[in-house]
């Protein structure tokens, strides 16, 4: 008897994954000699050896932060599609401190850089929250437009005032000082402590939603707005707050990536993570516990898409198609299962 | 832009939100340009764009109407698929060019008229006529009344013997068709070239500006011109000798809709004229 509810939840996901596999094979199978070999290549690209696993985790880290940035507003029923812009905002704010701030020791600089990154992302997210709470403008459109704005601001900076003098007109900033590079988890690999930060943040958020008065307030606000207003809960404050916290998380992800992986700011270095993050958060049902493992799976998909690019000569956009198709398959089957139940 | 906006208005009037228009526009732009290059015929390009947009809207339709998925989530999936596929299949065409449409001409017309017509492309004319036609249809025909009824209250419509699912399928497909044409018009006629992500958020801006039109197709052209004006302002500012980075100027088309929306919300009744069945989808939590 106990199995049945699990089965009810599991079969749509299984069906979704199966359709995903079929769709992938149809789309990309023609470029490889055999279909099983194609999937084997995908798996090997993501988990084949220590380096592949490390790369999977590298890609999972910003995805994880973005997914958290989506899941926090989602607790209030808000749909934020702006994690990517918030990441850029965080990276720009943190980068400003590192590039133009005082030279201090790592013990001062790294926390200050992270704080700036979080603040930048939070401010960016709060704008959308404010527009939503004050004017009722849908946050979906605002966050998407903000993505374009953030990307263009970064382009302006790296093509203009922040361009490194010795870069030969290549659009990027000067390298960050070595003191602010986040240390790797295993030396020699690119996986960095930002991953631990993301996992810790997920645990804290899970606790906050389940066990604190804020979590309770959020449930009251979404469950019964009338009770919420009688209890004196401010919708305005919670909407702006949730968007700001989400933004801060994405901003942290952005500055972590800039510091640990790129070591500078450059063009479109965070491209695609906003979408992956949204997808992960949605697949996890905006549940903070599930976000961590699903982010790692998403990291695997992204890494194996890179392998495809090298191995089968497929363009980088394959990753986006893969994600969109995966999303559509799982959305379709889970909703269908709900409908026929 | 006008096409996409009109498509989204019609969709929302039938209770369908389509976040994926950006993806449909991109797919339309890539497919339209590909066909226009290989056949040399811009009209076939527009057709191909329409077909590509419609194909993507099939995904949205299956997810929303057959599976009853959340429309927003489905739209994001469509957006990703459209954007990914357009750059995947469009990559061979980067850097190619098409000649676009021949200028409109009527034999024996006076030179002054010809001069005006030369600066007007056929897609602009269609883009102005289509919303007017759909606007007239929406407000004066039986078909339009039913369409609006489905958007206001699908259950009431069902009681009256209208099948809301049929109308919503039509709305989704029509939206995809119009977005696809919009994308193709952009690549074949306006830019005369294809580059990755070339719609640059026009679909999203359209989505935001629907509020401004108060869901009335007749206001499509004036509202679309807000974005057009913002864009051409940022382009021509350079030619006026204003020395500002092009990247800063390119912010303007995205900021303008946000500011306009905020002002609009400030000075008008909240959610004026929004089709009632949309409220369930868009206004969670307030």
- In the predicted structure, residue B21 carries a pLDDT above the cut 80: no
Choose from A140, A221, A224 for mutation: most chain B CBs within 10 A. Answer: A140
B15 within some domain: yes
In chain B, what residues touch A319 (CB-CB under 8 Å)? 84
B110 within some domain: no
Number of domains into which chain B is organized = 1
Distances in whole angstroms, Cα of residue A176 to Cα of each of A93, A95, A130, A259, B53: 13, 8, 33, 7, 44
Which one is predicted more confidently, A273 or B261?
Answer: A273
B219 within some domain: yes
Which one is predicted more confidently, B32 or B274?
Answer: B32
CATH number (domain holding residue B170): 1.10.3470
d(C-alpha B232, C-alpha B253), whole Å: 9
What's chain B's average pLDDT? 70
| Closest C-alpha to B148, from B280, B273, B1, B272 | B273
d(C-alpha B60, C-alpha B203), whole Å: 15
How confident is the model at residue B286, as a pLDDT? 32
How confident is the model at residue B140, as a pLDDT? 74
How confident is the model at residue A231, as a pLDDT? 75
Closest chain B residue to A128 measured between Cα atoms?
B258
Asked if B177 contacts B10 with a C-beta cutoff of 8 angstroms, the reply is no
Asked if A263 contacts A175 with a C-beta cutoff of 8 angstroms, the reply is yes
B46 within some domain: yes
How confident is the model at residue B282, as a pLDDT? 53
B164 within some domain: yes
How confident is the model at residue B94, as a pLDDT? 64
B107 within some domain: no
Task: Give the closest-approach CA distance of A268 to chain B in angstroms.
Answer: 13
Interface membership of A235 toward B (CB under 8 Å): yes
Choose from A70, A88, A138, A142 for mutation: most chain B CBs within 10 A. Answer: A138
- For chain A, list residues with pLDDT below 50: 1-2
Task: Give the closest-approach CA distance of B150 to chain A in angstroms.
Answer: 20
Label residue B93 by pLDDT band (50, 70, 90).
low
How confident is the model at residue B284, as a pLDDT? 42
Label residue B7 by pLDDT band (50, 70, 90).
low
In chain A, what residues touch B285 (CB-CB under 8 Å)? 76-78, 221-222, 225, 235, 239
Domain hosting B20: range is 2-100+117-282
Q: Which range has the worst mean pLDDT, B9-23, B107-121, B198-212? A: B107-121
In chain A, what residues touch B69 (CB-CB under 8 Å)? 331-332, 334-336
Query: What ipTM is given for this predicted complex?
Result: 0.75
How confident is the model at residue A341, as a pLDDT? 65
User: Looking at the DSSP assignment, which residues form a beta bridge with residue A192?
Assistant: A184
Which one is predicted more confidently, A243 or B5?
Answer: A243
Q: Quick one: tokens of B130?
A: 């289509």
B77 within some domain: yes
pTM of the model: 0.80
A1-10, B11-20, B48-57, B102-111, range with greatest mean pLDDT: B48-57
Label residue B15 by pLDDT band (50, 70, 90).
low
Closest chain B residue to A322 measured between Cα atoms?
B81
- In the predicted structure, residue B141 carries a pLDDT above the cut 70: yes
Query: Quick count: other Cβ atoms within 10 Å of Cβ B129?
Result: 11
Give CA angle at B157 (B153, B162), nearest 5°.
145
The answer to whether A78 contacts B284, with C-beta atoms less than 8 Å apart, is yes
């Amino acid at each position: 008897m106990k199995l049945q509810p699990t089965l009810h939840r599991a079969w749509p996901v299984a069906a979704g994954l199966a359709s995903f596999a079929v769709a992938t094979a149809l789309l990309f199978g023609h470029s490889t000699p055999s279909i099983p070999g194609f999937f084997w290549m995908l798996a090997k690209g993501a988990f084949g050896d220590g380096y592949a696993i490390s790369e999977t985790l590298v890609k999972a880290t910003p995805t994880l932060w973005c997914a958290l940035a989506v899941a926090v507003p989602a607790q209030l029923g808000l749909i934020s599609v702006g994690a990517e812009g918030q990441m850029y905002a965080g990276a720009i704010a943190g980068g400003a401190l590192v590039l133009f701030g005082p030279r201090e020791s790592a013990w001062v600089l790294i926390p200050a850089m992270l704080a700036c990154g979080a603040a930048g992302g939070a401010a960016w997210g709060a704008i959308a929250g404010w527009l939503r709470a004050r004017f009722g403008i849908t946050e979906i459109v605002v966050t998407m437009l903000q993505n374009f704005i953030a990307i263009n601001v970064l382009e302006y900076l790296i093509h203009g005032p922040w361009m490194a003098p010795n870069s030969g007109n290549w659009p990027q900033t000067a390298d960050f000082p070595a003191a602010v590079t986040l240390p790797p988890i295993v030396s020699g690999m690119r996986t960095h402590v930002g991953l631990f930060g993301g996992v810790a943040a997920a645990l804290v958020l899970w606790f906050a939603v389940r066990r604190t008065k804020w979590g309770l307030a959020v449930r009251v606000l979404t469950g019964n707005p009338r009770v919420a207003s009688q209890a004196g809960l401010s919708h305005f404050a919670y909407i702006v707050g949730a968007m700001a916290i989400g933004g801060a998380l994405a901003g942290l992800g952005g500055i972590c990536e800039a510091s640990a992986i790129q070591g500078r700011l450059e063009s479109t270095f965070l491209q695609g993570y906003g979408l992956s993050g949204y997808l992960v958060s949605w697949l996890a049902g905006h549940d903070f516990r599930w976000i961590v493992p699903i982010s790692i799976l998403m990291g695997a998909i992204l890494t194996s898409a890179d392998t495809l690019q090298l191995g089968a000569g497929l363009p980088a956009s394959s990753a986006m198609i893969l994600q969109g198709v995966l999303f559509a398959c799982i959305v379709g089957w889970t909703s269908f299962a709900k409908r026929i139940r | 832009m006008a096409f996409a906006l009109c498509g989204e208005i019609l969709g929302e009037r039938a209770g369908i939100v389509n976040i994926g228009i950006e993806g449909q526009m991109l797919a339309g732009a890539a497919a339209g340009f590909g066909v226009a290059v290989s056949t040399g015929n811009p009209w076939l390009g527009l057709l191909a764009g329409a077909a590509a947009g419609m194909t993507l809207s099939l995904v949205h339709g299956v997810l929303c109407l057959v599976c009853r998925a959340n429309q927003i989530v489905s739209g994001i999936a469509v957006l990703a698929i459209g954007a990914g596929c357009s750059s995947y299949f469009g990559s061979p065409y980067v850097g190619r060019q098409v000649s676009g449409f021949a200028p409109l001409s009527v034999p024996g017309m006076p030179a002054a008229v010809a001069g005006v017509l030369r600066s007007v492309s056929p897609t602009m004319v269609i883009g102005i006529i289509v919303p007017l036609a759909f606007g007239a249809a929406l407000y004066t025909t039986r078909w339009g009344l039913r369409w609006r009824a489905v958007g206001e209250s699908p259950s009431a419509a069902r009681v009256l013997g209208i099948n809301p699912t049929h109308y919503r399928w039509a709305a989704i497909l029509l939206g995809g068709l119009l977005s696809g044409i919009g994308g193709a018009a952009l690549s074949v006629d306006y830019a005369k070239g294809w580059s990755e992500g070339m719609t640059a958020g026009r679909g999203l801006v359209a989505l935001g500006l629907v509020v401004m039109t108060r869901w009335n197709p007749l206001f499509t052209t004036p509202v679309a011109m807000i974005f057009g004006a913002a864009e051409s302002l940022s382009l021509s500012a350079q030619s006026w000798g204003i020395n500002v980075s092009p990247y800063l100027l390119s912010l303007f088309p995205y900021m303008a809709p946000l500011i306009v929306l905020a002002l609009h919300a400030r000075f008008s009744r909240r959610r004026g004229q929004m089709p009632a069945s949309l409220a369930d989808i868009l206004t969670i939590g307030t």
